[in-house]
Amino acid sequence: MNNKMKSLLYNININQPNKISKNVEKICNEIVSKTKIIFNCVVHDPNDELKEKNLNKNYVINDTVRYESNCNEFRPIDYFDYHCEFTAHIVHYTLYHLKIKLKDKYPNRKFCIIISISDKISTVHFHTCINNEDLWISNNLDNFEDPVLYEIF
C-alpha cells in the first residue's frame, strides 16, 4: 500500500457505514460467484460467455497475470444504486469481502488484489499469484500518483 492509500484509510471509522459494507459484500459475492477456471486462470465471466475453445490458449498461458487482471477488473461504485462518497470505506470493505469470497471458492489458490483510486473512484483488479511472484506493477508503490493498495494472500 502506498502512503497516499495509507493516509486515506488511516482515519476511517469502519463501524459507521454498515450499508456500504453490506453492499460491497453483495458486490464481491456477485463478482466471485461468476468466476470460473479457464486454462488454469480464475476469470470473471458475468455472462458465461468465455469458453476455452474460443480463446487463444497461447495468449492466456503466456500472460496469465494480465489476462486474469483484465477479466477481473471492476469498479464497486458501478454496482451501487445510490451515490456514495465513502471511497475509503469502499476500499476497506472490498479488500475484506473479496479476500473472504475468493478464499472460500478457491481455497488452494494464492491471490493478489490491487485497488487504486482515481477521481474518488476505486478500481479493483485481482488475479492468481503464480510462482511466488512479488509486486509486478512496481517495487515502489509510492511512485504512483494515485492511492494504490497491493495485497497478496
Contact (Cβ atoms closer than 8 angstroms) between residue 115 and residue 2: no
Mean pLDDT score, 42-61: 86
| Average pLDDT for the chain | 88
Q: Above 70 in pLDDT, residue 28?
A: yes
Q: Tell me the per-residue pLDDT of 52-86, one tens digit each, with 9 for 90 and over.
A: 888 887 777 777 888 898 999 999 999 988 777 77
Percent of residues, the chain, with pLDDT higher than 90: 56
Least confident of 9-13, 48-52, 60-64: 60-64
- Would you say 141 and 1 are in contact if contact means Cβ atoms under 8 Å apart? yes
Task: Identify the pLDDT of residue 135.
Answer: 56
Cβ atoms of 123 and 75 within 8 Å: the answer is yes
SS3 letters across the chain: CCHHHHHHHHCCCCCCCHHHHHHHHHHHHHHHHCEEEECCEEEECCCCCCCHHHCCHHHHHHCHHHHHHHHCEECHHHHCCCCCCCHHHHHHHHHHHHHHHHHHHCCCCCEEEEEEEECCEEEEEEEECCCCCCCCCCCCHHHCCCCEEEEEC
Say if CB 60 and CB 67 are below 8 A apart: yes
In the predicted structure, residue 134 carries a pLDDT above the cut 70: no
pLDDT at position 99: 98
Per-residue pLDDT tens over the stretch 104-114: 999 999 999 99
Arithmetic mean of pLDDT, 75-99: 88
Residue with the three cell numbers 460491497: 24
Q: What pTM value is reported for the model? A: 0.89
> So where are the chain's domains?
3-152
CA dist 91 → 7, 8, 63, 97, 113 (Å) = 13, 10, 27, 10, 11
Rounded percentage of the chain residues whose pLDDT exceeds 70? 92
